[in-house]
Amino acid sequence: MIDFRTRPRTTVAAALGAAALLGAGGGAATYAAVGSGGETTIVRTAVESDAEPAAATSGSTVAEIYKRVAGAVVEITVSSAAGSPFGDEGVQQAQGSGFVYDEEGHVITNHHVVDGAETVSVRFSDGSIHDGTVVGSDPSTDLAVIDVDAPASVLDPLGLADSDELEVGDGTIAIGSPFGLEQTVTAGIVSALHRQITAPDDFAIDDVIQTDAAINHGNSGGPLLDFEGRVIGVNSQIESDSGGNVGIGFAVPSNTVERIASQLISTGSVEHAYLGVGIDSITAAAADELDLEEGAAITNVRPGTPAADSALRAATGSQLVDGQEVPTGGDVITEIDGERVRSADELRRAIDAKRPGDTVELTVLRAGEPESVEVTLEARPAA
């Protein structure tokens, strides 16, 4: 499986050469391919809200929607210091996309587009370029907010749709700067919903939108729109054996964007609640086979975490069910604060809806019997 968290068209200028400092985690590997002209493509091999649904269509064509909204889509270029294998200091430039979020000059993009940025410039559709400042960035959702020093005449914000109302098959439009080709539009459909991708800090991003609208290096941070011209997601990753578009792209949903952007604008940061366990789903088939209940099986408990403090128990073994290894011998979480939990994804979403410092009551199946465990959540660590 290959996805990308693009630093699109990354160029490293140094006296004697170029180098990329790349990290990998969570069973993933990262590499850089240097092409002609000194371009370095980074590829990761991985494991206005309203009552109308986002699925609604107005009969507008892609061309009509493009004319109406493209002015709010911007190209973002960031610069940061870069060393070389020879000890030289150079300048590394990375390019991505974004869109105007409000009339105060806030622009939404990906965390990975601005990560490490020392300077930010934002190019608008009229060709004007304005300085930007990173207000805040959240690696756990791969979202960031930039404050742009631009005149009101170019600040025409896009509205957000309710991504919970999306349906598979709904039309999608992506606008951005693939390979630096600004104001490029592609169209497709919602191919799937509730996908999961890996964030830059190796935690999971849930409820991600999958689309076949063509997304390439440089689209990162740009909007995925519905056929009303409203943002349904922020384009973030693709899956590809070659590193180029093959019709499987992923966008962080607009409801996540709205929640995270408001926190970044108000405080400059986001804190996510943290339990401190590895988990796997107990499916209905596995539950029947092993005389368990559907839920989130704990596969490991990280030391020094809320889960460890509350003596939650990790699996001690596994059993093969329908060709899948199922954790056994540990706690299976089946409820949180009285709400039923039937999978690992449901538990992750429930924890993410909490805040650090919240105390939750977990119902766990332990040695075949239900028990209540009280846990006080902490802030998620940086990685």
Residue 14: pLDDT above 50?
A: no
Over residues 266-277, the pLDDT tens digits come to 999 999 999 999
Local confidence band at 34 (pLDDT 50, 70, 90 cut-offs): very low
Average pLDDT of the chain is: 85
Q: pLDDT tens digits for 333-376?
A: 999 999 999 999 999 999 999 999 999 999 999 999 999 999 99
Q: Which residues are catalytic?
A: 112, 142, 220
Longest CA pairwise span in the chain (Å): 67
Assign domain 1-270 to its CATH architecture: Beta Barrel (2.40)
What is the chain's alpha carbon radius of gyration, rounded to the nearest angstrom? 22
Euclidean distance between CA atoms 228 and 54, whole angstroms: 8
pLDDT of residue 87: 57
Where are the domain boundaries for CATH 2.30.42.10 in the chain?
A: 273-379
Spatial contact of 6 and 217, defined as CB atoms under 8 Å apart: yes
Q: What pLDDT was estimated at residue 84? A: 56
CATH architecture assignment, domain 273-379: Roll (2.30)
Quick one: pLDDT at residue 242?
80
pTM, two decimals, is 0.79
Amino acid in position 6? T
* Top-confidence residue, 159 or 1: 159
**Who's near 348: CB < 8 A, 6+ residues apart?**
204, 206, 279
Tens of pLDDT, residue by residue over 192-215, are 999 999 999 999 999 999 999 999
What is the location of CATH 2.40.10.120 in the chain?
1-270
Please provide the DSSP assignment of 284-323 as one string: HHHHHHHT--SEEEEEEE-TTSHHHHTT-----EEEEETT
pLDDT at 245: 85
Q: Per-residue pLDDT averaged across 28-36, rounded?
A: 32
pLDDT tens profile 178-188: 999 999 999 99
Sign of CA dihedral 342, 278, 143, 265: positive
User: How confident is the model over 75-84, as a mean pLDDT?
Assistant: 83
State the pLDDT at residue 240: 86
